[in-house]
Structure 1
Amino acid sequence: MTTSPVSGSGIRIGDRRTRLGALIKSGGAGSVYLLPEFPDRVAKIYHERVDPPSYTDRVEAMLELRPQLPDQFEGGKRYVQIAWPDATVRDERGRFVGFSMPALDVQSTSELEQVLQERQARAAGLPVGLGPKITLAANLSAVLAALHAQHHYVVDLKPVNLRFYRASLYIALLDCDGFSIQGRGRRYSAPQFTPDYLAPEFQQRGPDPLGEEAQDRFALAVVIFQLLNFGLHPYTGKPAADRVPTDIPSRIRERYYAYGLRAHRLMAPSPVSAHGSVPRELRELFDRAFGDGGERPSAADWSAALRDYAKPSSGKLVVCKREREHQHYAGQACASCARQDLLAKTARKAKPRPVAEPPRAPPQAAAARLRAPRLGRPPPPRLTPAPPPARMPQPAWLANLRLATQSRGMLAIAFPVLFAFIAQGLHRLYAALQPDPANKPLEAWVDAMLMTGLGAVFLVLCWVFAVTLPRMLKNR
């Protein structure tokens, strides 16, 4: 039984013999190794279980029709845009085992998926402004245009499969041997695809070889839409009817695109969408990509449209006056500021609701739940706590005595003054009825008794109002 070469094994790259260096990474189809004699190249060696000879014709077709994507040099650094095969690799017996390709500095790249969500991008130290995202969209379109020029297609095009250099924002395409490859008179299809990025016409049966470029055009438009619109998928939104599907693939299949120049009848856009501030020329491209008819924009169309917006000298993109970190299209409002204001307003309106504590079971019931029943015996019955005793109904006159706290406070001040005024009036009336109370000891004694009684009544009423009545109201 033959095995695939490993680190230290002798191999042959073209006509030159060499050895595999250290293992860099291992994937589902093969492993990537350093090449000590070729510092700027690496070798991908297929696993034995995937049948390496089955890849021979595919790799040779890739060598014949290489896309025009030369390495970029900027600031003394080399940026490999595509990890495309440059030679076949054979073992010491001449058996095909893999291919060599340019060495791409994966450590200096990040997944495109990471820049779609602002919180995730900030955590990773990646750009969050519209300017860098337009540059990424323009670079991605240019790379795909060069790939499509040779009739090669990615098919499973999605942000998680795309990488970019953090320093330059150049796109880096990896695992190119899994693309759909055009050979001499034969196509080597790509079996993998993702439903959320699959064109409507392929949702039920998958992409066919004749429609792979159309599939790439659709997926590219989805990725660009997400880059320019805070990571929103073009088929998300607010349904206006129950018959609108809830999953993205079904919405794609039935073409529920809510961000067109003409409003969709059954689908409203997301409130935080930035599509309203996108220039009309770009919105028309999105309408062509997601509309019911017409030809979808090609990668070259997107590259030409986005190139000017990516150039600072064009003036089509300006820095926000309110937030220097934001950029927006010239002549349009800042969508990032509008989104921030909407999210802040929503957060202010949201009020935290108190979480009700579940009723506590009595100790006996808790103990009954913790004890496991013995085999052959029924479990012990759970104890149900007795309901609290019902309160006696209170008379209606007591309900009428309920007063607000402010009212009782005011009466507590007004009552003594009013009572004193009434008592003084009664005393003057009684004195006026007596002809000469000073010469009649009996009348003076009665007068003293009257004042004493009035004082006692005053104290009793004060006690009732200040102590007894509040207790009755509290227990009600």
Structure 2
Amino acid sequence: MSSPQSLLSSAGGSWIELGSVLAKAGEGTIYDVAGRPDVVVKVFHPDLDGLDVKLAKVAAMVDTTPEGAVQSDGFVVLAWPRQMVYRDGAPVGFLMPRISTSQAVEIHSLSNPSNRANPLPSAPQWTTGATWNHLVTAAANLCLAVDVVHHAGAVIGDFQERNILVADTVRVTLVDCDSMQFTDSSGRQYLSPLGRPEFTAPELVNVDLRNTARAEASDLFALAIHIHLLIMAGNHPFLRGVWTGPGDQPDALTLARKGSWAGGPGSPLHTHPFAPSVEFLPNEIQALFRRAFTDGARNPSARPTAEEWRQALTRIQVVNCPSGHQIPAESGMCPWCGIEAARRARKPRPQQTVMPSLSQHRPPPKQPTPVSAHTAVGGPSGGKGNRWVLWSVLIIGVLVGVGVLVGVAASTEKPTATPQYTTEAVTDHVPVPNESWSYPRTSTSPAPLPPPLPSQQSSWQLVIVGTCDEGGTCGVKQRSAPYTAADRLVPNDLHDGNAVTVVCQTIGDVRSSDGRGSSSVWYRLANNAYVASVYMNTSPAGISAC
């Protein structure tokens, strides 16, 4: 029999039995629903701040069913609240559609080239087969999802990559919909105070979002950022480039307010040599980026709508360059060929190994003193040569004696059986299907016994490298959090060759560096400052999580 706490009721009076816990978050807990594989239930924490307002907001969302939230074949575009649930007659949460996550990834796992090519062993592996055409299609599908949200009278608000899931068919689902800004039928607005700096529209800088409503245009800024990340090799338009202006490169929010983006018209932030130039894109797409980032900095209403983006992206015709890279048909250049050439040119040529000159004068080696067969070994007239012979004989005798004793001692003990381990061949190569997406099952063969765990290391000594890759002034900031927009924790920058002590690692914003690729891993130093792992000379195994 189910416990009273595991039984909830719907508005229609039917019972809902809670199953296993799927996830716990800051606002509530998500459960399976017994006998209902198509839905899950979110129960808010009873001590949640502003719980009454949250429940009123979700109730208003339940009364609105966005057109296109679920496609005709059942694919879920928005994880939109469906029904309120009650305990003892009081609302405590809501039902929402269940999203299949077995082959879905957060969008950064697709837009970031390093994450895409090297998925975690426990993550879906299909991203390794994604092409530029897949990325363009994913961008168009994201636009469709955003358009559905806006037609429902909602604003995404916290439009960050963890709230965007991409399936292996590159169709897109938006989750955490109950955190969106929503206006009910009476005109009451329920706000969305959260947001990540790198996706925040410039007009919202220094705005208290707890008391200020967002406009759809703020979503359209973040949408353009996500599209740029997808089709421009994971490069954020306000983060990576060659800074040609005075002083250090400003943070992303400052650049966004000025409309200064990498490769934009008149921008002091130029395209990085290892990033594709926006000029390889169709003229229509270039114009949309200018409207989103240049014109939109002064006039947010100038930004393209989600539907404008979707139509333009679906019109891109993809062809292969002579080297096999995918590019737009109207492009007169292949950026990927150019990037490969730039990397080859930057890579230092190997140098021959130099040893000390053999032509330098060296004194001839001393000849050993011959030992006479008639000279007594211990005699006083034996000289240095005879004394060395004496010591050699004594040492050999001692070693032989010790060996005999050890052998005798060993022969008196019982032999210890050495455990035998069978090593099986393991392959991590998963072929990419050409027509249909299919994946091998995970092997359930027992694994060999693991070796003894090494002693836990508490810190790692690393060296700063590659800080000049971004152009302009070299150096990397020591930040208060693992985000590019975080404030400095320590006033001085770190430069190539500086030694640092790393104590733990965490996940933050994606950073890129020549020779080290891209990564979202950040290291916390002994002084509590955060530095992206791509600026370290190595990535040791075993660094604990912060």
Q: How high is the TM-score relative to the length of structure 1?
A: 0.66
Give a deviation string over 1:70-128, Cα, whole Å, max 9, x none: 43466xxx43221111110001x101100001111122210101122222211123044
Name the CA shift for 1:104/1:7 in 2 (closer, same or farther; >3 Å).
Answer: farther
Q: Is the 8 A contact 2:181 2:189 kept in 1?
A: yes
**Residue 97 of structure 1 corresponds to which residue in structure 2?**
92
- On the 8 A contact 2:21/2:29 being kept in 1, the answer is yes
Percent of aligned pairs with the same amino acid: 26
CA offsets 1:362-390 (integer angstroms, 9 cap, x no match): xxxxxxxxxxxxxxxxxxxxxxxxxxxxx
Matching residue's letter, 1:191: P
The answer as to whether partners of 1:111 and 1:163 remain within 8 angstroms in 2 is: yes
Which residue type is aligned with residue 45 of structure 1? V
Quote the Cα distance in structure 1 between the aligned partners of 2:163 and 2:340: 29
8 Å contact kept, 1:7–1:23:
no
1:278 maps onto 2:319 in alignment:
no
Q: How does 1:205-224 map to 2 (within 5 A)?
A: 205-206=207-208, 209-224=212-227
Out of 10, 13, 34, the position equivalent to 2:10 is 13
Distance change (3 Å), C-alpha of 1:110 and 1:62: same
Counterpart of 1:123 in structure 2 is: 118
In 2: Cα distance, 1:234 partner to 1:213 partner: 21
In structure 2, relative to structure 1, the CA distance for the partners of 1:151 and 1:58 (3 Å cut) is same
Question: AA paired with 2:22?
Answer: I
CA contact (8 A) 1:53 1:96 kept: no
Report the CA distance between 1:188 and its aligned residue.
Answer: 0.3
Contact kept, 8 Å, 1:257 with 1:267, in 2: the verdict is yes
What are the superposed Cα offsets for residues 12-61 of structure 1, whole Å, 9 maximum, x if unpaired? 02221131111111111111111123221111111112154332210121
- Aligned match of 2:321: 320
**Partner of residue 64, structure 2:** 65
CA shift for structure 1 position 146: 1.1
Q: Deviations over 1:411-468 (max 9, x none)?
A: xxxxxxxxxxxxxxxxxxxxxxxxxxxxxxxxxxxxxxxxxxxxxxxxxxxxxxxxxx
1:85 pairs, out of 81, 92, 96, with 81
Offset from partner CA, 1:137-179 (integer Å, 9 cap, x none)? 100001101110122011111223311112x111111111011
Residue matched to 2:160: 158
* Cα distance in 2 between the residues matched to 1:12 and 1:300: 39
What displacement does 1:331 show? 3.0
Q: Please give the alpha-carbon distance, in whole angstroms, between the structure 2 residues aligned to 1:58 and 1:10.
A: 23
User: In the TM superposition, what is the alpha-carbon distance from 1:335 to its structure 2 partner?
Assistant: 2.1
Aligned to 2:237: 234
Q: Which runs of 5+ in 2 are unaligned?
A: 120-124, 364-546
How far off is 1:7 after superposition? 9.5
CA, structure 1 residues 61+352, in 2 after alignment: closer, same or farther (shift >3 Å)?
Answer: farther
For 1:386-401, list aligned pairs within 5 A.
none
Q: What secondary structure is seen at the aligned counterpart in 1 of 2:175?
A: coil
Q: Does 1:298 align with 2:305?
A: yes
Q: 1:251 aligns with which of 224, 233, 255?
A: 255
Alignment partners' CA distance in 1, 2:161 and 2:65 = 23
Output the CA distance in 2 between the equivalents of 1:200 and 1:257: 13
The letter of the residue matching 2:54 is Y
Q: Once the two structures are superposed, what CA deviation does each residue of 1:240-266 show, in whole Å capped at 9, x if it has no partner? A: 132454322222233322322x342x3
Question: Structure 1 pair 10/228, CA: closer, same or farther in 2 (3 Å)?
Answer: same
Q: Distance in 2 between matches of 1:132 and 1:340?
A: 21
Aligned residue type for 2:33: L
CA distance in 1, matches of 2:156, 2:22: 24
Deviations 1:381-404 (A, max 9, x none): xxxxxxxxxxxxxxxxxxxxxxxx
On the 8 A contact 1:129/1:327 being kept in 2, the answer is yes
What residue identity is the alignment partner of 1:277? F
CA contact (8 A) 1:222 1:233 kept: yes
Matched-pair contact (CA < 8 Å) for 2:160–2:195: no
Distance across 2 between alignment mates of 1:97 and 1:103: 19
Q: 2:29 is matched with which residue?
A: 31
Distance 2:353 2:269 in 1: 31
Query: What residue is the counterpart of 1:413 in the other structure?
Result: none
Which amino acid in 1 is paired with 2:86? R
Counting strand residues as a fraction of each chain, which structure ranks higher?
A: 2
CA distance 1:95–1:331, change in 2 (3 Å): same
Equivalent residues of 1:29, 1:47 under 8 A apart:
yes
- What is the CA–CA distance in structure 2 between the aligned matches of 1:232 and 1:335, rounded to whole Å? 13
Equivalent residue number for residue 344 of structure 2 = 344
Q: 1:35 to 1:259 in 2, by over 3 A?
A: same
Distance in 1 between residues matched to 2:320 and 2:348, nearest whole Å: 28
Q: Confirm or deny that 1:195 pairs with 2:197.
A: yes
Match in the other structure for 1:50? 48
In structure 2, relative to structure 1, the CA distance for the partners of 1:351 and 1:110 (3 Å cut) is farther
Q: 1:210 to 1:58 in 2, by over 3 A?
A: closer
Distance 2:214 2:80 in 1: 23
Q: CA RMSD in A?
A: 2.8
1:7 to 1:334, Cα distance in 2 relative to 1, 3 A:
farther
Distance of aligned partners of 1:245 and 1:254 in 2 relative to their CA distance in 1, 3 Å threshold: farther
TM-score (norm: length of structure 2):
0.58
Residue type of the alignment partner of 1:199: A
Matches within 5 A, 1:299-448: 299-309=306-316, 316-323=317-324, 326-332=325-331, 333-348=333-348
**In the TM superposition, what is the alpha-carbon distance from 1:267 to its structure 2 partner?**
2.5
2:406 equivalent in structure 1 = none
Structure 2: how far apart are the matches of 1:26 and 1:210?
28
Question: What stretches of structure 1 of length at least 5 have no aligned partner?
Answer: 310-315, 355-404, 409-468
Distance 1:340 1:115, change over 3 A: farther
Which structure shows the higher helix fraction?
1
Q: Partners in 2 of 1:327 and 1:137 — Cα distance? A: 16
Q: 1:351 to 1:200 in 2, by over 3 A?
A: farther
